[in-house]
Structure 1
Amino acid sequence: MLIPAMADTLTGRVVGVHDGDTLTLRVGTRQVKVRLAETDAPELKQPYGQKAKQALSDWTYE
Protein backbone atom coordinates (compact mmCIF):
# COMPACT_ATOMS: atom_id res chain seq x y z
CA MET A 1 0.00 0.00 0.00
CA LEU A 2 1.37 3.38 -0.98
CA ILE A 3 0.64 6.27 1.33
CA PRO A 4 0.54 9.44 -0.83
CA ALA A 5 1.97 11.61 1.96
CA MET A 6 5.10 9.45 1.85
CA ALA A 7 5.40 9.41 -1.94
CA ASP A 8 8.50 10.89 -3.53
CA THR A 9 8.46 13.86 -5.86
CA LEU A 10 10.37 13.21 -9.07
CA THR A 11 11.44 15.74 -11.65
CA GLY A 12 12.32 14.43 -15.07
CA ARG A 13 11.33 14.09 -18.70
CA VAL A 14 8.54 11.77 -19.79
CA VAL A 15 10.04 9.21 -22.16
CA GLY A 16 7.15 6.76 -22.41
CA VAL A 17 3.47 6.28 -21.68
CA HIS A 18 2.42 2.69 -21.01
CA ASP A 19 -1.31 3.13 -20.43
CA GLY A 20 -3.67 5.64 -18.86
CA ASP A 21 -2.04 5.60 -15.44
CA THR A 22 1.58 4.49 -15.96
CA LEU A 23 4.49 6.32 -17.55
CA THR A 24 8.30 6.30 -17.61
CA LEU A 25 10.39 9.30 -16.57
CA ARG A 26 14.06 9.93 -17.27
CA VAL A 27 15.48 11.25 -14.01
CA GLY A 28 19.13 12.07 -14.56
CA THR A 29 20.59 8.92 -16.09
CA ARG A 30 17.88 6.61 -14.70
CA GLN A 31 14.55 5.62 -16.17
CA VAL A 32 11.82 5.32 -13.55
CA LYS A 33 8.44 3.67 -14.12
CA VAL A 34 5.75 5.74 -12.38
CA ARG A 35 2.20 4.70 -11.59
CA LEU A 36 -0.03 7.70 -10.88
CA ALA A 37 -1.45 7.69 -7.35
CA GLU A 38 -5.20 7.48 -6.90
CA THR A 39 -5.74 6.99 -10.64
CA ASP A 40 -7.41 3.90 -12.07
CA ALA A 41 -7.52 3.97 -15.86
CA PRO A 42 -8.76 1.07 -17.99
CA GLU A 43 -6.15 -1.43 -19.18
CA LEU A 44 -5.18 -1.16 -22.85
CA LYS A 45 -7.38 -4.08 -23.95
CA GLN A 46 -10.41 -2.84 -22.02
CA PRO A 47 -12.94 -0.40 -23.48
CA TYR A 48 -11.45 3.11 -23.60
CA GLY A 49 -7.98 1.79 -22.71
CA GLN A 50 -6.35 3.28 -25.81
CA LYS A 51 -8.20 6.57 -25.30
CA ALA A 52 -6.94 6.74 -21.69
CA LYS A 53 -3.37 6.15 -22.88
CA GLN A 54 -3.72 8.84 -25.54
CA ALA A 55 -5.16 11.31 -23.01
CA LEU A 56 -2.20 10.80 -20.64
CA SER A 57 0.20 11.08 -23.56
CA ASP A 58 -1.42 14.32 -24.76
CA TRP A 59 -1.31 15.74 -21.22
CA THR A 60 2.33 14.83 -20.55
CA TYR A 61 3.76 15.78 -23.94
CA GLU A 62 2.08 19.24 -24.16
Structure 2
Amino acid sequence: MSEDFKVPTMLSIKQTAKTTGVAECYIRQLVAENEICFVKAGRKYLINLEKFVEYLNTPQTA
Protein backbone atom coordinates (compact mmCIF):
# COMPACT_ATOMS: atom_id res chain seq x y z
CA MET A 1 0.00 0.00 0.00
CA SER A 2 1.89 3.02 -1.30
CA GLU A 3 0.20 6.32 -0.57
CA ASP A 4 1.65 9.51 -1.97
CA PHE A 5 1.75 12.30 0.57
CA LYS A 6 4.06 15.22 1.13
CA VAL A 7 5.51 15.81 4.56
CA PRO A 8 5.53 19.58 5.21
CA THR A 9 8.74 21.40 6.05
CA MET A 10 8.45 22.37 9.71
CA LEU A 11 10.92 24.96 11.00
CA SER A 12 11.38 26.79 14.29
CA ILE A 13 10.60 30.49 14.39
CA LYS A 14 14.34 31.28 14.25
CA GLN A 15 14.90 28.94 11.27
CA THR A 16 11.84 30.35 9.49
CA ALA A 17 13.13 33.90 9.97
CA LYS A 18 16.56 32.96 8.64
CA THR A 19 15.11 31.11 5.63
CA THR A 20 12.58 33.76 4.61
CA GLY A 21 14.23 36.98 5.79
CA VAL A 22 11.14 37.88 7.84
CA ALA A 23 11.82 39.23 11.35
CA GLU A 24 11.46 36.75 14.23
CA CYS A 25 9.30 39.19 16.20
CA TYR A 26 6.84 39.45 13.28
CA ILE A 27 6.61 35.66 12.98
CA ARG A 28 6.01 35.42 16.75
CA GLN A 29 3.25 38.02 16.40
CA LEU A 30 1.60 35.99 13.60
CA VAL A 31 1.76 32.86 15.79
CA ALA A 32 0.26 34.73 18.76
CA GLU A 33 -2.58 36.01 16.56
CA ASN A 34 -3.07 32.51 15.06
CA GLU A 35 -2.54 33.94 11.56
CA ILE A 36 -0.20 31.24 10.27
CA CYS A 37 -0.07 27.44 10.32
CA PHE A 38 2.05 26.13 13.21
CA VAL A 39 2.22 23.37 15.80
CA LYS A 40 3.52 23.61 19.34
CA ALA A 41 6.03 20.88 20.19
CA GLY A 42 6.89 21.23 23.85
CA ARG A 43 8.04 24.82 24.26
CA LYS A 44 8.86 25.24 20.57
CA TYR A 45 6.61 26.53 17.82
CA LEU A 46 7.14 24.82 14.47
CA ILE A 47 6.05 26.75 11.39
CA ASN A 48 4.83 25.02 8.23
CA LEU A 49 7.19 26.69 5.75
CA GLU A 50 5.09 26.05 2.64
CA LYS A 51 1.95 27.50 4.26
CA PHE A 52 3.94 30.46 5.62
CA VAL A 53 5.28 31.32 2.16
CA GLU A 54 1.73 30.96 0.81
CA TYR A 55 0.54 33.37 3.55
CA LEU A 56 3.24 35.88 2.58
CA ASN A 57 2.24 35.67 -1.10
CA THR A 58 -1.46 36.22 -0.36
CA PRO A 59 -2.62 39.85 -0.36
CA GLN A 60 -3.81 40.87 3.10
CA THR A 61 -6.82 43.14 3.55
CA ALA A 62 -6.45 45.85 6.18
TM-score norm. by structure 2 comes to 0.27
Structure with bigger RCO (C-alpha 8 Å, 6+ apart) = 2
TM-score norm. by structure 1 comes to 0.27
